[in-house]
């Protein structure tokens, strides 16, 4: 039986992408995604979620097409008003039924720039109300320049893997 993690990572999409369709963890090629791929260790892709400027809030394993959409302040406002609705969906169900039935997440890393963070913080509030994230969850947000954010992401993953390793 799979043992579920109490942690999740919320990532911004990446301007640098592969030309081939696929899940975000294969499609996105930007520096934060390269850091995640290099240092994720035992952190499972089913615990990674993406705020895509094109697709909204999605699981990192969902198959998507390459795109060139940017997250403008207006688009961010629309995502928040519609709670993640995109042209491809008519309900806010970014999480699979299996994901929704898991115990509440207690550790969240938000690895995103300011506009993405604004939207993700909005979603986190809703996820806490719905019980998908614990009300008292430890929520870490990357900050600073890209080098600092990459370092913070790597440190968070390294800590996760050190704590997790004895239990796997």
In the chain, the number of structural domains is 1
| Structural domain contains residue 33 | yes
CA atoms within 13 A on the CB side of 58: 20
| Structural domain contains residue 1 | no
- The set of residues, in sequence order, having a beta carbon less than 8 Å from that of 144 and lying 6+ positions away, is 152
Residue 61 near residue 45, CB atoms below 8 Å: yes
Could you read off the pLDDT of 1-19 as tens digits, one per residue? 445 689 999 999 999 999 9
Question: Residue 108 is inside which H or E element, if any?
Answer: strand 105-111
| Structural domain contains residue 32 | yes
| Structural domain contains residue 50 | yes
Residue 112 near residue 67, CB atoms below 8 Å: no
79 alpha-carbon distance from chain centroid: 15
Please tell me the least confidently modeled range out of 23-32, 43-52, 87-96, 145-154: 87-96
Q: Which domain holds residue 80?
A: 7-167
CATH number for 108: 3.40.50
Helices of type H across the chain: 24-27, 31-39, 73-81, 97-100, 114-130, 146-164
| Structural domain contains residue 123 | yes
The model's pTM: 0.86
Could you read off the pLDDT of 41-67 as tens digits, one per residue? 989 999 999 999 999 888 899 999 999
């Amino acid at each position: 039986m799979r043992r579920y993690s109490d942690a999740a990572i919320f990532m911004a999409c990446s301007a640098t992408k592969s030309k081939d369709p696929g899940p975000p963890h294969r499609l996105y090629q930007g520096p934060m995604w390269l850091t995640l791929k290099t240092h994720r260790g035992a952190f499972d892709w089913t615990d990674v979620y993406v705020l895509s400027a094109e697709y909204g809030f999605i699981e990192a394993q969902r198959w998507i097409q390459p795109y060139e959409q940017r997250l403008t302040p207006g688009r961010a406002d629309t995502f928040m008003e519609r709670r993640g609705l995109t042209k491809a969906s008519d309900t806010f169900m970014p999480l699979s039924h299996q994901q929704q039935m898991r115990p509440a997440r207690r550790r969240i890393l938000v690895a995103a720039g300011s506009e993405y963070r604004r939207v993700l913080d909005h979603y986190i509030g809703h996820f806490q109300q719905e019980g998908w994230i614990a009300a008292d969850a430890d929520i870490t947000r990357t900050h600073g320049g890209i080098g600092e954010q990459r370092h913070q992401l790597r440190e968070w993953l390294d800590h996760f893997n050190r704590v997790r390793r004895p239990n796997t």
